[in-house]
Structure 1
Amino acid sequence: MSDTDGKPEDPVMDEESLMDHEPEDIPDHLRDEALDGHQIKKLAEERIAEMQGEIDGLKDQLLRVAAELDNTRRRADREKADASKYGITSFARDLLSVADNFQRALDHTPEDPTTMDAEALNGFVGGIRMTEKELLTVFERNGVVRIHPAGEPFDPNVHQAIAQVPGGGAAKDIVVDVVAPGFLIGDRVIRPAMVTVSTGAEATASS
């Protein structure tokens, strides 16, 4: 077919068909278009390859970060388990000397304590008191504080009233007697002090 000027139309050629022809058979403007298209395709392929490399690099980084996070989690779990299992090692080591002193006291006690003379009994009691003092020192060194609130106002946060008694001269809600001392670690109550508390009223005489 020809155009309106009677000139033959250029054949429709894609890039592959252009490559099948001899260069001199291809019109100049089509040859330029083919070269431009080939260059664009080549640049696009190079950019795609570059982007694929970037994607592969990011995937590798992501895998490395995930592996590091997993290692960190495992390490934290292990440290937590070790702290739970061995956290009282220092405290237990300090208590060993207290246990040794108790054992020595028992070793020097006869099977029938009523056979002990006054000197032996005094020595035994003195040894027990020294061991108790050492025990309290170990407690304090490890942050354990004993609560012995005799004569102090009753505090429900750290005391547990097991009975109320007439005042006997004590004001209302004053700790009259400590049945068992309490203990704290920092601000946390391990065991409240077991106490009797004054009602503030005098005992009534029985009829």
Structure 2
Amino acid sequence: MFQFFKRRSAMSSQDNSTPENGTNNNEPINPQDTVNNDSDFVPSGAPEHNKNNDSNPDDLHSRIAELEAEMVDIKARANADMYNFQKRVERETDNAKKYALEKFAGSLLDIVDNLERAIAAAGTDDHLVNQPVIEGVRLTHKSLLGALEKHGITVVDPAGQPFDAEHHQAVGIDPNTPAGQVANVLQKGYSLSGRLLRPAMVTVGQ
């Protein structure tokens, strides 16, 4: 009798665990029943294709022509910049060559001045005018001036010329000379390839 009620209770528990629709919760699920077709899936926010958004061929040709014109202009500007750069480098190199000896040449001018003073002093003494020593000084002075001139250094000797403030330095007035004219050259000036190394010291008429 006890075993009958126990078996009856077990059968009732089994009936209660089965859903009313007759399906078993432990039955495997078919993936095809739960996954949508990829062809029907559209991501949220994805842009829709619109044939009206395609560019007009005429607009494309016009844009290409504009870009080509811009490239021609950029190329022309680049060529002009390169040309100017090359000319500037050539000019700076040429100036460096011309004025490389400027400082050295300036130091030689004192030697030229001393030789000229020696020649001028000997010219006032009859006993020294024809002496071999003075003749040697004259030859040395002449050779030095020739070497300087060979390297583009020339003498600025404005005796009797109009006064030029850019190349002459007035240190006195001579009332017996016409106004604005150089009366005497106290010290000669020198220039290097057209660039003034030292102005000439002069007196000017008033």
TM bin (shorter chain)? 0.3 to 0.5
TM-score by length of 2: 0.40
TM-score by length of 1: 0.40
Larger Rg: 2
